[in-house]
Chain A
Amino acid sequence: MISTEVTGGPVGVKTKLVPRRRRRNRTTYVIKSILLWTFSLLFLLPFAWMVSSSLKRNIDVFSIPPKWIPNPIEWANYVEVWLHGDPSMAIFFSNSITVSLIGVLGDLTTASMAGYAFARLSFAGRDKIFLLYLATAIVPSQLLLIPRFMFFQQLGLYKTLWALILPGIFTVFGTFLCRQAFLSLPGEFGEAARIDGAGEWRVFFNVYLPQIRPTLAALGIISFVGSWNDYEGPLIMLSDKELFTVPLGLTRFVDADGGLSAGFAMAGSVSSVIPIMIIFLLFQRQFIAALASSGLK
């Protein structure tokens, strides 16, 4: 299956392989496609339910048996979400974008550097520090919530977007992920470059970093999704409505008794998922581009 992606290799050998394989590949292709698409329905359901609920009246949202096609269709839910409320969704979006973008770019930078050092450089104290990193990842995050809140208040970061951005820039997860990606590359790459006289920074930036582009893309997506959907962080750190991110802004549709205006909430959720899907599709291109370029090398 992977072989069809391969473009290099001796031409003669390849053409010899193709005719016998093609028929079998065609059948596997069809079977695999059918199976995967069937299975994917199970994963499409929550999104389908969200979209359908976002167009329903509240009473229809939780009706049993569920109605998948809204009747009547309530476009008004989207109007309510986007045009009403003070401040409007647009403000929440711009806050979320600020937090997520700065966080992702920062995370990619610091995590790739640290991950590289942990995987490919050797220096005194490295393994001890890495162990510390790993150990902190294991500590339940709920344990950190209150100390972090109190500490951030001391630092004066509480009530600012920095309280959300800064922790997102220095993640153990990203470092760990990058380290593992660098580990799966052969060490010979760097040695060759070093023999050619490249400095450490160039070895990292020009030789190793491009190799883990798919991982960086994955990290970018995951880090973006994580900070875009984060509810607990903003809930604990922010109180000024003008600074709310999207998930916190959606609490407008939860009343004081815990009830939920589900149609509105879902219209808001659908609106908030769309940017992520766009980002994901864009990064898909990155995946494929990275694959293509490494294949052409």
Chain B
Amino acid sequence: MSHPTSISRRALIGGAAAIGTATLAGCNLAKGGGGSGSGSNSVSLNVWGGVPNETGPDDLCKAFMAEHPDIKVTYTRYVNDEQGNLKLDTSLTGGVPIDMYFSYSPARLSQRASNGLAVDLTDKITAEKDFSQFAVDADPLGNYVFDGKQYAVPAARAPSQVYINQSMLDEAGIKLGDNWTTDEFVQVAKELTKPGRFGSLDYPPQARAVLGPDYRYKNDGKASNFADPWFAKELQLAQRLKQDKVVMDQKTIIAEKLQTFSQNPYIAGRVAMLIASGQIIRSINDTAQYPHDFKTFVMPIPSPQKGKQGWNTGQIGDLITVSPKSQHQDEAWELAKFWVRNAGKYMTKGGRLPTMPGSSTEDDILAQLLSDKADTLYDVESWRRFLFSPNLKMPVDTIFTAGTEIDTILQKLNDETLLGTRSVSSWVQQAVKQSDAAIKKAGAGS
């Protein structure tokens, strides 16, 4: 940091806001003067995020610096895996200079916020007129709220969608509208199933789609909700579809690590449909590395209940937080706002759908997201209908007690159930028992 060490810590913290405004004012003056920011006055912001530098962040930071010549932004990429997040956390607590950082899951954000690693942004968000969708009282909720407070502003949303191979649809003579039920999905999957080809890689989600936010908890998070019949229904259907070989068998999914590399069987034509969030788009766009000759049609997650629009199974993401240890919290907030408002312009081509269109039109966003070969790779109209539909409801959770433990428990039980070695009723019994124990333990711990 370029600050003279003679300034006391207290003065720095106390005067941070004042200094911030002063430099901002100074920066505007400097802009008028046309000179580049002088070294001693300039503010240096350190940003940590998980998106690789060259897929958007570098351009966005450059644009920000062009507007604020006295602020120098350094974007450090951390690997968004367990060790990488651990590194971010130890760095944040250990006093490594970080002014602003990204979290990619609400559970991690919740952990960071409850341990004092995030500045309370509630009032700042309320103060911005165009951020009304992120405010505490927005309906539907467009931002995470913890005990009435907000610690981050989301720059991206990652809805899940059904990717469908249009050539296979045409071949089967199927016409799809802009919405469907679980039964219709199953019917289509069956019709698209052929020897050597599964109708779908994934079974249709139901519990999340029906129950929406906090679907895993009941009684305000004091107990788990896995006894709800929708969980059993979802798994029973999954087991049946796997038995009928309409949906890819779990053995193959595990053996080929298709939870991580799901684009391959879809683009290679081994499955007709795939349920995933936006990262598949990057592979579809990359025709050099993933050559294919069919268009991708998109459908929303099917609704389990007829006539009732279900929740999407994706989430909002790229959660921007200001570190309380930052000495430039105001500049960091400036950058955070700039990031959210300009993500459409700089981050969309990296496959990240913005929460705010900013100055970008629907067409701009579609063009960036689906690349310049959109017309040969996609049924663009289906994408427009899906992405900008008012019916697209993203569930925003508020309870995260023992979230990662429950993830682990479910992963194991799901594997066993889908491999056919555990019955659905035993799944229910164990999921409730183990999750309740984890919740109790987490509650006792805090």
Contact = CB atoms under 8 A, between A and B. Distances in A.
Max chain B Cβ within 10 angstroms of own Cβ: one of A58, A149, A153: A58
A18 interface: no
Interface residues of A, number: 33
Interface of A: 57-59, 62-64, 76, 85-86, 145-146, 149-150, 153, 158-159, 232, 235-236, 239-241, 251-252, 254-261, 263
Given A239-B78, A258-B80, A62 B261 contact: yes
A34 B279 CA distance: 48
A146 B264 contact: no
Contacts of B7: none
Nearest to B282: A255
B329 to A, nearest CB: 21
Contacts of B96: 153, 158-159, 239
Given A149-B90, A256-B104, A258-B81, 15 more contacts: A59-B283, A62-B256, A62-B264, A63-B264, A149-B87, A153-B94, A153-B95, A158-B96, A235-B83, A239-B78, A239-B96, A241-B76, A255-B279, A256-B51, A257-B279
Given A150-B94, A153-B94, A258-B260, A58 B286 contact: yes
A57 B291 contact: yes
A69 B101 CA distance: 43
Contacts of A149: 87, 90, 94
30 contacts: A57-B288, A57-B290, A59-B264, A59-B289, A59-B290, A62-B257, A62-B264, A63-B264, A64-B270, A85-B54, A86-B54, A146-B86, A149-B87, A153-B94, A235-B87, A236-B87, A239-B48, A239-B76, A239-B87, A252-B52, A254-B79, A255-B55, A255-B279, A256-B51, A257-B279, A258-B260, A259-B261, A259-B263, A259-B282, A260-B260
A64 B260 CA distance: 15
A240 B48 CA distance: 11
B261 A260 contact: yes
Contact of B79 (A150, A159, A235): A235
Contacts of A86: 53-54
Contacts of A59: 264, 267-268, 283, 289-292
Nearest to A84: B54
A168 B87 CA distance: 20
A236 B256 contact: no
Contacts, number: 89
A31 B52 CA distance: 53
Interface residues of B, number: 42
Contact of A256 (B50, B86, B264, B291): B50
B36 to A, nearest CB: 22
Nearest to A152: B94
A256 B289 contact: no
A222 B77 CA distance: 30
B84 interface: yes
Interface string B52-94: 1111000000000000000000001111110110110011001
Contacts of B256: 62, 64
Contact of A263 (B53, B263, B289): B289
B72 to A, nearest CB: 15
A251 B78 CA distance: 9
The 8 closest A-B pairs by CB, nearest first: A58-B289, A256-B50, A59-B290, A257-B279, A256-B51, A57-B289, A239-B76, A62-B264
Interface in B143-172: none
Contact of A58 (B90, B94, B283): B283
B267 A146 contact: no
B357 to A, nearest CB: 21
Contact of B83 (A63, A232, A252): A232
